[in-house]
Amino acid sequence: MIGGFGVTGVPFTLIKALADRAVKNLTIIANSAGGRLPDIDITLLVKNSQVKKVIASYPVYSGRVSAFEERHLKGEIELEMVPQGTFAERMRAGGAGIPAFYTPTGAGTKLAEGKEIRIINGRECVLEYGLRADFALIKAYKADRMGNLVYHRAARNFNPVMATAAETTIAEVSEIVETGDLDPETIVTPAIYVDRIIKGKKHEIRFD
Amino acid sequence: MKSGLTRELICMRVAKEFHDGDYVNLGIGLPTQVSNFIPEDKNIVLHCENGMLGYGRIAREEEIDPELVNAGSEPVTLKPGACFTDSASVFGMIRGGHVNVTVLGAFEVSEKGDLANWLRSDRGVGSVGGSMDLVCGSKRIIVAMEHTTRDGKPRIVKKCSHPLTGKACVNLIVTDLAVIEVTPEGLVLKEVAPGITAEEVRKATGPVLLISPDLKEMEL
């Protein structure tokens, strides 16, 4: 799992570290498969031929062709497309020990093909399974030394949910503070979900 | 074909559909620009799939916070009372029926209000994003789009040629030429853009268009 929505809340330092390790056959669970900032985003892993499968809701952007799109259309990378709310809820469920759930989202569309359907309260619903990962690479604003995390603005997005749904969660943060320095009322991700923290590098975010 | 409204004017017309107290989601593309046309005195709360509730217009250069962006990754401003949640909670608001109005772009809308906006059959891969959650959870769906494709083919069609986002989910269509309501009786032309006739809208539309007895020129 790799956090982020568009160009915000993406753990760019951890993506680079993963690209440097060159481990292969990865399944990447992320909202997008990169392409907005191709020199630092998930495109790095794609170009490095490290990716076997992508599970995403927004894999490609309109008006630009990413390395992922090229390789997916050539049949080199498998894609599992999930509606964004179902994508988030599958990870929430995975992290909270809920094996599966029914949702009306996507019923009657191509994305529900082959899935179990049940009529609940008169409405067609799709069975979706909880989603877990071996690793979650997430981005937060501040961590204390225990691993409690707070976020900044829209960079929160999928990061807190992914933190709960992986065997090992690694958080890249902009600042590390002493334990006790974060107001307990404001902590978004409790340290119970966080295994490692690193202070990330600063990345220039372009909005082209 | 005479030219209709600019994209900005389409957004301005869409913004007139909101009522005080509405929670509104603006989809990627043309709809995100609607945030620039919501009158300051209207009490509208904009909801964004990235976990943001209560954002305002697109940010000016000096206001940019790289971590404060809308669904299309454009820097925006915040209004007083704004807050942030994670992705699971923000989609709970959608699925749970708490969002009153959603504005989406479209490739095609059918006469029954079916929406196709996530996968173009000719591209081979698309992005569904939050559109399926939004059409299933929002109380009202407005589509904002150009009336025809670049080569002049209708986008309002009898049956969608691209894979569907949702069946019979669109309530209102606002284009550069017209405002059209989806009703159980069929598509009803309610308003035409300044300088455009009902006949011209009919010609640019695939299925039969009923003309509202109250047909008027769009007020912007």
What is the CATH number for A195? 3.40.1080.10
Contact (Cβ atoms closer than 8 angstroms) between residue A168 and residue A1: no
Residues A140-165: tens digit of each pLDDT? 999 999 999 999 999 999 999 999 99
> Quick one: pLDDT at residue B1?
57
Kindly tell me if the per-residue pLDDT of B3 is higher than 90. no
Mean predicted confidence (pLDDT) in A179-198: 98
User: What are the structure tokens assigned to A142, written together?
Assistant: 């501040």
Of B48, B64, B163, the CB nearest to A109: B163
| Domain span including residue A89 | 84-129
In angstroms, the CA B125 to CA B119 distance is 6
Percent of chain B clearing pLDDT 70 (strictly above): 99
Q: Both ends of chain A: CA-CA distance in Å?
A: 25
**Does A205 fall in a domain?**
no
Chain A nearest C-alpha distance from B95 (Å): 8
CA atoms within 13 A on the CB side of B206: 16
> Could you give the number of structural domains in chain A?
2
A38 and A139 inside one domain: yes
Do A73 and A17 lie in one domain? The reply is: yes
What integer is the mean pLDDT of A17-26? 96
Look at residues A103, A129, A155 and tell me which one is the last residue of a structural domain.
Answer: A129
| CA-angle at B98, arms to B97 and B104, nearest 5° | 80
Residue B72, chain A, CB below 8 Å: the answer is yes
Which pairing describes strands B140-144 and B172-174: parallel, antiparallel, or unpaired?
Answer: parallel
Please tell me whether residues A147 and A67 are part of one structural domain: yes
pLDDT classification of A23: cutoffs 50, 70, 90? very high
Of A70, A104, A129, which residue is a domain's last? A129
Q: Is residue A30, in this structure, part of any structural domain at all?
A: yes
Residues A147 and A56 occupy one common structural domain: yes
Q: What is the DSSP string of B152-179?
A: S-BSEESS-SSPPSBSS---EEE-SSEE
Percent pLDDT > 90 in chain A is 94
| Same-domain status, A166 and A108 | no
pLDDT of B40 reads: 83
Joined together, the tokens standing for residue B12 give: 């301005």
Give me the pLDDT at residue A203, please: 87
Question: Does the pLDDT value for residue B2 go beyond 70?
Answer: no
Q: What is the DSSP string of A170-197?
A: EEEEEEEE-TT-S-GGG-SB-GGG--EE
Could you tell me the pTM of the whole model? 0.97
B172-213 pLDDT, tens digit per residue, is 999 999 999 999 999 999 999 999 999 999 999 999 999 999
pLDDT of residue B135: 97
Q: Which of A129, A147, A162 is the last residue of a domain?
A: A129
> Given this model, what pLDDT does residue A60 score?
96
Domain B7-143+162-172 has CATH 3.40.1080.10: yes
d(C-alpha B188, C-alpha B207), whole Å: 11
Taking CB atoms and an 8 Å cutoff, what residues of chain A touch B31? Answer: none
Confidence tier at A123 by pLDDT (50, 70, 90)? very high
Can you tell me the distance from the alpha carbon of B157 to that of B173, in angstroms, rounded to the nearest whole number? 12
Mean pLDDT of B52-72: 95
Distance from CA of A40 to the nearest CA of B (A): 15
Q: A57 and A25: one domain?
A: yes
Cross-sheet strand order for the sheet of A51-56: A26-29, A51-56, A78-81
More confident position, A22 or A153: A153
Mark whether A103 and A184 lie in a shared domain. no
Cα–Cα distance measured from residue B215 to residue B196, given in angstroms and rounded to the nearest whole number: 12
Residue of A nearest to B124 (CA): A73
Identify the residue whose tokens are 């050539």.
Answer: A74
Q: Are residues A122 and A136 in the same domain?
A: no
Mean pLDDT computed over A58-70: 94
Specify if A39 maps to a domain.
Answer: yes
Other Cβ atoms closer than 10 A to A47: 17
The residue ranges of every structural domain in chain B are 7-143+162-172
**Residue A3 falls inside a structural domain:** no
Indicate whether A184 and A102 sit together in one domain: no
Pairwise CA distance, residues A57 & B126, whole Å: 9
**In chain A, what residues touch B68 (CB-CB under 8 Å)?**
153-154
pLDDT band at B220 (very low <50, low <70, confident <90, very high): confident
In a domain, A6, yes or no: no
Residue listed under structure tokens 């902009």: A174
E strands within A5-122? 26-29, 51-56, 78-81, 100-103, 117-120
Q: Is A117 helix (H, G, I), strand (E, B) or coil?
A: strand
Q: Are strands B178-183 and B186-192 parallel, antiparallel or unpaired?
A: antiparallel
Same structural domain, A66 and A99: no
Would you state the pLDDT for residue A198? 98
Rounded CA gap, A117 and A16, in Å? 41
Catalytic residue numbers of B read: 49
Same domain, A139 and A156: yes
- Take residue A90 and report the two structure tokens written for it: 């599958």
Instruction: Tell whether A180 is within 8 A of chain B (Cβ).
Output: no
Residues A180 and A93 in one domain: no
A1 assigned to some structural domain: no
Model ipTM value = 0.96
Confidence (pLDDT) at B113: 98
